[in-house]
Amino acid sequence: MEAARLLKNLEKEDLRILMAIEIGMKRSDYVAIENVRFYSRYPMEETLYRLKKVHKYGLTIRNSAEYQISYKLNSIGYDVLALHALVEKNVISQLGPAIGKGKESDVYSCMDNEENIYALKIYRMGRTSFKNIKKYRSLIGNRSHLSWLYVNRLAAKKEYKALKKIYQLDLNIPKPIGYNRHIIVMEYLRGKELAYYKDINIPQYIFNEIIDQMKLVYQKVGLIHGDLGEWNVICDESGNILIIDWLQSVSADHPNAKMLLKRDIRNICSYFRKKYRIECNTKKILKEFLEE
Ligand SMILES: Nc1ncnc2c1ncn2[C@@H]1O[C@H](COP(=O)(O)OP(=O)(O)OP(=O)(O)O)[C@@H](O)[C@H]1O
Ligand SMILES: [Mg+2]
């Protein structure tokens, strides 16, 4: 991964310049050199030298169209800052190979100092453009300055918080390990999405596990997954599962909560019914969720 490779060549002064640009980006798209100097509290000479260096490494985008030159971070620059922070905090020590690519994220394996292996998810919303603006609105509210930095940071925070909330229940949902900016680190299950399996040995057991766990999450911490389906359940050869991808989760008091809960249950039911001939009744399961 580009950012991890580049991180090795960067000095703390370079990182401080990147952070200065990051601060400036809260107020505007591009940050003028004078403001980079201000936020970094370096002399102008040092600021210029560092800006040149991080730009040469491909971590920034330069705008020289205006009367003064300004910079913004690109996604690699932002990755560098987040990875650096996670290493500093001893959350991770090393990045491994890519293990998945979602529409809005890249997922890698990683390792900590004790050689525990985790999954590291980097949010990439708006990678191409902010086409589906409605989706992001629920994250950013009515802010006018729509920065991808901010959107992805909020996304990571939201998923991390959901995982934290669920963690106390001790279920097959990734244990949250740490997060910074647009990256979260969590428990990893070496396997593949349920959807990729031609066949599984114990479909009834796995179906029950998913339903029972979702019921506990709903009843004990008041959360609904919101995007439940065969693509967001990881399964290994021994039948261990991990229910992932909690960005879309909503709380039970959300106006659409019932509808989303029903849709989650329906998705799982229809998959297991069609593929494994499991008998299940969405209405009946939904009722069980709402009772107890
Ligand atoms: N904790 C994990 N353990 C193992 N694999 C994981 C884990 N988290 C993510 N993955 C892998 O990365 C892929 C993408 O992760 P996830 O579904 O969370 O991202 P996403 O961007 O929301 O995807 P999409 O929007 O396409 O559903 C998963 O389908 C899976 O292959
Ligand atoms: Mg997914």
Q: Residue 213: is its pLDDT beyond 70?
A: yes
The pick from 107, 183, 234 for probing ligand 1's pocket by mutation, whose C-beta has the most ligand atoms within 8 angstroms, reads 107
pLDDT by residue (tens digit) across 225-266?
A: 999 999 999 999 999 999 999 999 999 999 999 999 999 999
CATH code of the domain covering residue 167 = 3.30.200.20
Instruction: Give me the half-sphere count of Cα atoms (radius 13 Å) on the Cβ side of residue 262.
Output: 7
Q: 157 and 226, same structural domain? A: no
Residue 3 and residue 230: Cα distance in Å, rounded? 31
For the chain, give the percent of residues with pLDDT over 90. 85
- Residue whose Cα lies nearest atom 27 of ligand 1: it is 102
What's the mean pLDDT in 135-145? 64
Phi then psi dihedrals of residue 120, to 5 deg: -125, 115
Nearest-CA residue for ligand 1 atom 1 is: 188
Question: 198 CB under 6 A from ligand 1?
Answer: no
> pLDDT at position 148, please?
83
pLDDT, tens digit, for every residue of 65-93?
A: 888 999 999 999 999 999 999 999 999 99
Mean pLDDT, residues 59-67: 92
Range of the domain at 107: 89-187
β-pairing, 117-123 vs 183-187, is antiparallel
106 Cα to the center of ligand 1, angstroms: 8
Q: How confident is the model at residue 102 (pLDDT cuts 50, 70, 90)?
A: confident
For residues 38 and 97, membership in a common domain is answered with no
Distance CA 215, CA 87 (A): 36
Looking at the domain assignment, is residue 65 inside a domain?
A: yes
205 pLDDT more than 60? yes
pTM: 0.93
Instruction: Among 187, 216, 234, identify where a domain stops.
Output: 187
Asked which of 43, 76, 109 is the last residue of a domain, the reply is 76
Tokens linked to 115:
């050689």
State the distance from the centre of ligand 2 to the C-alpha of 190, rounded, in angstroms. 15
Average pLDDT, the chain: 93
Q: How many domains does the chain have?
A: 3
